[in-house]
């Protein structure tokens, strides 16, 4: 049992029976419009099996400068004045707070397709994340997740489990998704009230054939309450087992299958950032750009290239000169000058695997943009460019 508050001086003698004051008498005030909270934890013993439902209210009081007293009967929840009329002591806002000791075992499971990678061999490597949660009011033992890969990837597909890992549970090393569909070691795992845990599974799928590219897949969770009752759930797609937050994950809209698709989907993504612009006393400007490349699709990409036309970026009379081009991730093109050779990467020399990222840094010296100018300014630069260019180069 405990009583704490960040806002008030609590009454350490509060025991809820002979002393029912939560706050130290005469020691606390509350300014207009302010709020404050008190947290009480109570251990309740010996209720017996016939007594499981309880209703409960608390009372508040305070004194005004003119000596008038104001009181309120608590409302259920965290909002004293739900209708916002500055009167909390009215019908609909004095409702008791229910407490229930009836065991309510509730397990929830979500299944997410983290990554699908199509390999040159024609096989696909699929990674799933399973998120398990105890949504009930009793600890669960003997918890299990089952996922039938033969049902998920039917003949002629041949699924093979490449890895199964968890930071939270003891996994079943014999899981193969076909003859043994238990992800967790049977009898070895439990989950306390309110806790969550995850399991990651990577599966290699071979031999599906070109006609079979779209799959739907569900997993199942189960656990045992202290009274021996069992709770089960069908997985929902994504990482949240109980999207509507009602502590019941096994309902319509929360048992949806997880899609997997083997149709090739090449997707490259590029971002360009102005890391630094340095205006030199000479009137030249030194500009550093960072290019971030990402493989957002499900196939590895070869022959990747980034082009950047500096003559278009900095038109006459500007003279852009590449000072440096570097990358920790790719073989750069040492001949890149941004005018006659626009390729940042050495042609034919670079690839990017599914889900990977990489960066290139380029520093450019820009001279001679305007006669009679000793420094470039954004304002002046914008006068020279068309409106579109001006927006594009606002960083310059
Ligand atoms: Ca009200
Ligand atoms: Ca009230
Ligand atoms: Ca729900
Ligand atoms: Ca569900």
| Residue tagged 């031999």 (tokens) | 207
CA of 245 to the centre of ligand 3 (A): 5
Interval between CA 101 and ligand 2 midpoint (Å): 25
Distance, CA 231 to ligand 3 centroid (Å)?
14
CA distances from 37 to 9, 58, 90, 191, 290 (A): 11, 13, 21, 30, 49
**What are the CA-CA distances from residue 307 to residues 39, 172, 355 (Å)?**
60, 49, 21
Domain 268-392 of CATH type 3.30.43: no
Tell whether pTM > 0.75. Answer: no
Homologous superfamily of 107-261: ntegrin, alpha v. Chain A, domain 3 (2.60.40.1510)
Please report, for the chain, the start and end positions of each structural domain, with discontinuous segments joined by +.
Answer: 107-261, 268-392
Ligand 1 geometric centre to CA of 213 (Å) = 57
Rg (CA), the chain: 32
107-261 and 268-392 share one fold: yes
**Which ligand minimizes its atom distance to the CA of 74?**
2
Rounded to whole angstroms, what are the CA distances from 239 to 154, 184, 191, 197, 236?
25, 18, 17, 11, 8
Beta-carbon contacts of 246 under 8 Å, excluding residues fewer than 6 positions away, are none
Give, as one character, the DSSP assignment of residue 380: H
Q: Give the residue from 298, 300, 209, 219 showing the smallest Cα distance to 261.
A: 298
- pLDDT tens for the chain, 396 residues: list them: 899 999 999 999 999 999 999 999 999 999 999 999 999 999 999 998 888 899 999 999 999 999 999 999 999 999 999 999 999 999 999 999 999 888 999 999 999 999 999 998 889 999 999 999 999 999 999 999 999 999 999 999 999 999 999 999 999 999 999 999 999 999 999 999 999 999 999 999 999 988 899 999 999 999 999 999 999 999 999 999 999 999 999 999 999 999 999 999 999 999 999 999 999 998 899 999 999 999 999 999 999 999 999 999 999 899 999 999 999 999 999 999 999 999 999 999 999 999 899 999 999 999 988 764 334 443 334 333 333 343 344 343
Bridge partners of 73?
59
Give helix then strand counts, H and E, for the chain: 4, 20
């Amino acid at each position: 049992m405990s009583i704490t508050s960040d806002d008030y001086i609590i009454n350490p003698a509060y025991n809820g029976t002979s002393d029912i004051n939560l706050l130290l008498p005469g020691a606390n005030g509350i300014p207009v419009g302010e709020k404050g909270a008190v947290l009480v934890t109570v251990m309740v013993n010996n209720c017996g099996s016939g007594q499981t439902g309880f209703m409960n209210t608390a009372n508040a009081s305070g004194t005004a400068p003119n000596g008038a007293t104001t009181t309120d009967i608590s409302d259920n929840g965290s909002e004293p004045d739900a209708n916002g009329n500055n009167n909390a002591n009215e019908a609909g806002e004095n409702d008791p707070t229910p407490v229930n000791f009836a065991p309510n075992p509730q397990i929830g499971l979500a299944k997410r397709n983290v990554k699908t990678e199509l390999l040159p061999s024609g096989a696909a490597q699929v990674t799933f994340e399973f998120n398990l949660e105890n949504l009930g009011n009793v600890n669960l033992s003997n918890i299990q997740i089952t996922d039938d890969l033969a049902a998920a990837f039917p003949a002629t597909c041949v699924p093979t489990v490449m890895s199964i890992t968890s930071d939270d549970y003891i996994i079943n090393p014999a899981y193969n998704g076909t003859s043994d569909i238990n992800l967790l070691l049977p009898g070895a795992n439990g989950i306390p009230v309110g806790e969550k845990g995850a399991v990651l599974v990577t599966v290699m799928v071979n031999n599906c054939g070109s006609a079979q590219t779209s799959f739907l897949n569900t997993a199942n969770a189960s656990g045992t309450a202290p009274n021996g009752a069992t709770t089960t759930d069908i997985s929902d797609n994504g990482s949240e087992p109980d999207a509507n937050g009602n502590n019941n994950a096994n309902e319509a809209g929360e048992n949806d299958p997880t899609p997997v698709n083997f149709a090739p989907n090449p997707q490259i993504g590029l971002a360009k950032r102005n890391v630094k612009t340095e205006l030199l006393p000479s009137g030249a400007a030194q500009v550093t750009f960072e290019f971030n490349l990402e493989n957002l699709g499900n196939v590895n990409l070869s022959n990747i290239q980034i082009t950047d036309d500096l003559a278009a970026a900095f038109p006459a009379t500007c003279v852009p000169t590449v000072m440096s081009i570097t990358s920790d991730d790719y073989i750069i093109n040492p001949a890149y000058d941004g005018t006659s050779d626009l390729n940042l990467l050495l042609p034919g020399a670079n690839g990017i695997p599914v889900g990977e990222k990489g960066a290139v840094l380029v520093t450019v010296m820009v001279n001679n943009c305007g006669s009679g100018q000793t420094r470039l300014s954004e304002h002046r630069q914008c006068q020279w460019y068309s409106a579109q260019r001006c927006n594009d180069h606002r960083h310059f």
